[in-house]
Structure 1
Amino acid sequence: MFKKFTSEEISAQNQVKASVQRKIRQSISEEYPDLEPILDELLPKKSPLIVAKCQNHINLVVVNNVPLFFNVRDGPYMPTLRLLHQYPSIMKMLRVDRGAIKFVLAGANIMCPGLTSAGGALDEEVPAEAPVNGCECKLVAVCN
């Protein structure tokens, strides 16, 4: 499911202008309001923000040589797993039951029975297509 990422997959990297940096910062703060108290620490205004364009239309947001967020085809910004492990509360959490974990790790979509059966936890306030943190197996998923 997860492929090893190498620097050879980066086709271009550019330090963005201040206006683009503000737009990225605003987008991230709107998508993850719980990140607001530490946003200045993660994305300092004076540090250069680099956007690395990778294969398959993936853009990485890099600050101080650390990738923090990515997006696909100008979609919503998603935190990297490293950032999500540091700050797990920035996203809504869902928990699948024990029987679904091995299938999710193999790349299966999360179905409603895996969230509503005993052992699962489903937050009713998660809108469709919202990124969520699968807390039981530490995965980022998209709610359908």
Structure 2
Amino acid sequence: MFFRQREGPFIPSLRLLHKYPFILPHLQVDRGAIKHVLNGSNIMCRGLTSPGARMTEVPKESVVAVMAEGKTNALAVGITMLSTDEILSTNNGIGVKNIHYLNDGLWRLKGVR
């Protein structure tokens, strides 16, 4: 399933992303950011540049899968507020806007059969 916020891009749900993990570029946060991301917080630049974090090069306003250090499945889907080069150079502020995360309302939505 894909969803859309207002007039923005179509974004794959986490359930779809878990089946087809290659459809989005991955940004990985360190272990300390996991609980904050799962509570719906945006992903800060420092969580993407610290040890344990990894980034695929993407431009600003790209839809990305947010992965966690030591985990195999994505824990969130977000939109980059800065390019990865800008995230590395500024290392301050919000890097990725958290759009959909594990156990949110969309995740708990029952499937139609």
How much is the aligned-residue C-alpha RMSD, in angstroms?
A: 1.1
- Measured in 1, the distance between the counterparts of 2:29 and 2:15 equals 21
Structure 2 unaligned residues grouped into runs of 5+: 69-73, 82-113
Residue 74 (structure 1) shift = 2.2
In the comparison of the two structures, how many residue pairs are matched? 76
Percent of aligned positions that are identical: 53
- Measured in 1, the distance between the counterparts of 2:14 and 2:40 equals 16
Structure 1 unaligned residues grouped into runs of 5+: 1-67
1:52-71 alignment runs, 5 A limit = 68-71=1-4
Q: Decide which structure has greater helix share.
A: 1
Larger radius of gyration: 1
Q: Please say which of residues 130-139 and 83-92 is displaced more in the overlay.
A: 130-139
What TM-score do the two structures reach when normalised by structure 1?
Answer: 0.50
- Measured in 1, the distance between the counterparts of 2:41 and 2:15 equals 22
Instruction: Extract structure 1 runs of 4+ deviating beyond 2 A.
Output: none
Q: 1:135: which partner in 2?
A: 67
What TM-score do the two structures reach when normalised by structure 2?
Answer: 0.63
Residue 104 (structure 1) shift = 1.0
Relative contact order: is structure 1 or structure 2 higher (C-alpha 8 Å, sep ≥ 6)? 2
Q: 2:43: which partner in 1?
A: 110
